[in-house]
């Protein structure tokens, strides 16, 4: 009897030793990774993130589209015309053919002030051929080049490029929101990877406990079977432990499947082969951190992605409302152009002629347009104002949600720590009860029911302590996530990961 009790004690000591030690690494496929290295591996290899990083790179498309209008535009236009007029009474000159080559090379540029400037050179070559017997002798082929520069400025509707600059700022805000959302995804992946790993830890412990329970139940059943043979136990005691052993073995099978599911989920998160062996345990803290509600709320409103994105969205909607108001104004456009002309039978002298400003052509104009009774403009302006009002309401609602979320997560940290302390105390009491019971067993006072009950209680309390410890650490992660401080906790340089996509 004493030998049996001693074997039970040694077995329990070995089975539960892994629950009290907390290593500093994760072990994937025999590779030891520190917590920081494991996080780096997740952010480097997670498939969701790999795809999301391309979205970040592509999210500046609207900015590029908005900036496109400021890019210089080079244009080349050429046209050759050859005309053979009808030979009738109206063709007094008896023109046989007319040849005309018109080539224009220009550069156009829109500036952020809304000023459109275009400048270029135009070459017009003209040749007239007259049939014999015509009334006049045509001039030789002539080059008629001209240099021109044109200015155009919107004065009211898009006053000095105001609307264009606002459109660019709206596009930049959209880019910032997309980028921030991907960074938020990064922090979520860090939390998910750690929670998945701790889930594997819990399921591993649950499997060990289930096996321990099954082994100990089998040991007690064998003791009862032996006692029946020598007349110290009843058959119904054996029937009871046969039932308990069947249930314990079924529990082992169920926990083995739960562990497989947890491991597969973790390996999918870190993008490792499905047959990778996962071992070890991360650092799990049991100390309650300093909690300050005012500081936590301030950090959340400064760092949370949803709040910053909501502010950017409100800013964009306010700019869209300004654009809608401007679009309801009349369009007044001022324009001015200067053209200098030249003419010669040779191209180079003709160009020099046009550059001398001897034959300038000045054009100055003003154009105004305003649609009358345009209901769409009024509806757009109204909708833009309502969208701003709705965004402000959403901001107020989000402010309350964030406040409640941060306070709830902070209170949950305190609660889970209190639960951890209580479960630890319960485990210690269960250990004392079991150890004292086993001391009686060593003295020859053996009661199978009491041993089984104390064993079940000890196993359950050890498991609950580990689960409470993990839940406490998860609550800290959730609190950091509520403040968007995950990267600060683990010293993650997020820009390094976003810069990997070229």
Q: What is the pLDDT of residues 370-385, one digit of tens each?
A: 888 888 888 989 999 9
Residues of the chain with pLDDT > 70, as a percent, come to 86
* Helix 305-327, helix 375-442: angle, nearest 10: 180
Q: Is 378 inside any structural domain?
A: no
Is residue 114 within 8 A of residue 160, CB to CB? The reply is yes
User: Is the domain of 223 the same as that of 309?
Assistant: yes
Q: Is 320 inside any structural domain?
A: no
User: Is the domain of 147 the same as that of 213?
Assistant: no
User: Is the domain of 398 the same as that of 294?
Assistant: yes
Q: Is 221 inside any structural domain?
A: yes
Q: Which range among 190-199, 214-223, 415-424, 451-460 has the greatest average pLDDT?
A: 415-424
User: Is the domain of 102 the same as that of 244?
Assistant: no
- By residue range, what is the domain housing residue 127? 72-110+115-157+331-369
* Coil/strand/helix, residue 453: helix
User: Is the domain of 175 the same as that of 221?
Assistant: yes
User: Is the domain of 218 the same as that of 131?
Assistant: no
User: Is the domain of 346 the same as that of 429?
Assistant: no
Segment 213-254, tens digit of pLDDT = 888 888 878 888 888 888 877 888 789 889 989 999 999 999
Segment 17-39, tens digit of pLDDT = 333 334 446 666 666 667 777 77
**Predicted pLDDT of residue 258:** 93
Q: Is 76 inside any structural domain?
A: yes
Could you tell me whether strands 360-369 and 278-281 are parallel, antiparallel, or unpaired per DSSP bridges? unpaired
Local confidence band at 200 (pLDDT 50, 70, 90 cut-offs): confident
Is residue 282 within 8 A of residue 194, CB to CB? The reply is yes
Q: Is 379 inside any structural domain?
A: no
Instruction: For residue 147, give the H/E element and its range.
Output: strand 146-154
**Predicted pLDDT of residue 482:** 92
User: Is the domain of 197 the same as that of 284?
Assistant: yes
**Predicted pLDDT of residue 56:** 78
DSSP string, 294-347: HHHHHHHHHH-HHHHHHHHHHHHHHHHHHHHHHHTSPEEEEEEEEEEE--BSSH
User: Is the domain of 207 the same as that of 303?
Assistant: yes
Q: Is 125 inside any structural domain?
A: yes
Structure tokens at 106: 């220009």
**Predicted pLDDT of residue 304:** 92
Domain count, the chain: 2
Does residue 351 have a pLDDT over 90?
Answer: no
Q: Which of 171, 143, 205 is nearest to 62 (CA)?
A: 171
Local confidence band at 131 (pLDDT 50, 70, 90 cut-offs): low
Q: Is 324 inside any structural domain?
A: no
Burial of 444 (0-12, 13-18, 19+ CB in 10 A): exposed
Q: CATH number, domain at 217?
A: 1.20.1600.10
Helix and strand numbers, DSSP H then E, in the chain: 13, 10
Q: What is the largest CA-CA distance in the chain?
A: 148
Chain-wide mean pLDDT for the chain?
83
User: Is the domain of 309 the same as that of 407?
Assistant: yes
Name the pTM for this structure.
Answer: 0.73
User: Is the domain of 180 the same as that of 249?
Assistant: yes
CA distance 4 to 321: 83
Segment 396-414, tens digit of pLDDT = 999 999 999 999 999 999 9
Q: Is 377 inside any structural domain?
A: no
User: Is the domain of 179 the same as that of 308?
Assistant: yes
Radius of gyration for the chain, computed over Cα atoms and rounded to the nearest angstrom: 42
Is residue 350 within 8 A of residue 342, CB to CB? The reply is yes
Tokens 């300050």, located at residue: 292
* Coil/strand/helix, residue 116: strand
């Amino acid at each position: 009897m004493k030998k049996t009790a001693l074997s039970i004690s040694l077995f329990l000591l070995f089975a539960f030793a892994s629950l009290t030690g907390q290593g500093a690494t994760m072990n994937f496929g025999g590779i030891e990774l520190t917590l920081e290295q494991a996080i780096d591996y997740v952010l480097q290899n997670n498939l969701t993130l790999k795809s999301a990083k391309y979205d970040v790179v592509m999210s500046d498309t609207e900015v590029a589209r908005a900036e496109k209008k400021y890019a210089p535009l080079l244009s080349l236009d050429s046209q050759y015309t050859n005309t053979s007029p009808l030979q009738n009474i109206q063709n007094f000159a008896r023109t046989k053919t007319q040849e005309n080559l018109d080539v224009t090379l220009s550069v156009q540029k829109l500036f952020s002030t809304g000023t459109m400037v275009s400048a270029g050179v135009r070459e017009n070559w003209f040749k007239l051929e007259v049939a014999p017997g015509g009334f006049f002798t045509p001039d030789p082929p002539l080059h008629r080049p001209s240099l021109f520069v044109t200015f155009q400025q919107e004065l009211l509707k898009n006053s000095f490029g105001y609307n264009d600059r606002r459109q660019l700022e709206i596009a930049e805000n959209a880019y910032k929101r997309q980028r921030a959302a991907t960074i938020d995804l990064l922090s979520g992946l860090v939390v998910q990877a750690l929670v998945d790993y701790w889930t594997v830890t819990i399921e591993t412990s649950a499997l060990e406990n289930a096996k321990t329970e099954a082994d100990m139940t089998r040991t007690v059943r064998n003791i009862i079977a032996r006692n029946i043979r020598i007349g110290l136990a009843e058959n119904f005691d054996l029937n009871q432990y046969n039932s308990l052993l069947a249930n314990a073995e079924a529990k082992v099978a169920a926990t083995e499947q739960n562990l497989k599911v947890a491991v597969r989920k973790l390996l999918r998160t870190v993008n490792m082969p499905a047959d990778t062996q996962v071992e070890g345990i991360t650092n799990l803290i049991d100390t309650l951190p300093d909690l300050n509600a005012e500081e936590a709320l301030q950090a959340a409103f400064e760092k949370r992605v949803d709040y910053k994105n909501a502010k950017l969205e409100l800013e964009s909607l306010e700019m869209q409302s300004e654009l809608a108001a401007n679009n309801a104004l009349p369009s007044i456009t001022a324009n001015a152009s200067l053209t200098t002309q030249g003419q010669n039978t040779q191209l180079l002298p003709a160009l020099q002629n046009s550059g001398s400003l001897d034959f300038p052509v000045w054009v100055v104009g003003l154009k105004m347009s305003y649609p009358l009774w345009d209901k769409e403009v009024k509806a757009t302006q109204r909708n833009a104002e309502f969208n701003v009002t709705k965004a402000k309401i959403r901001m107020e609602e989000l402010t309350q949600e964030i406040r409640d979320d941060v306070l709830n997560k902070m209170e949950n940290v305190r609660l889970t720590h209190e639960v951890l302390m209580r479960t630890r105390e319960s485990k210690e009491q269960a250990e004392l009860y079991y150890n004292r019971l086993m001391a009686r067993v060593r003295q020859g006072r053996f009661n199978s029911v009491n041993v089984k009950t104390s064993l079940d209680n000890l196993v359950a309390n050890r498991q609950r302590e580990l689960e409470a410890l993990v839940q406490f650490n998860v609550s800290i992660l959730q609190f950091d996530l509520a403040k968007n401080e995950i990267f600060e906790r683990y010293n993650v340089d997020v820009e390094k990961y976003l810069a990997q996509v070229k």
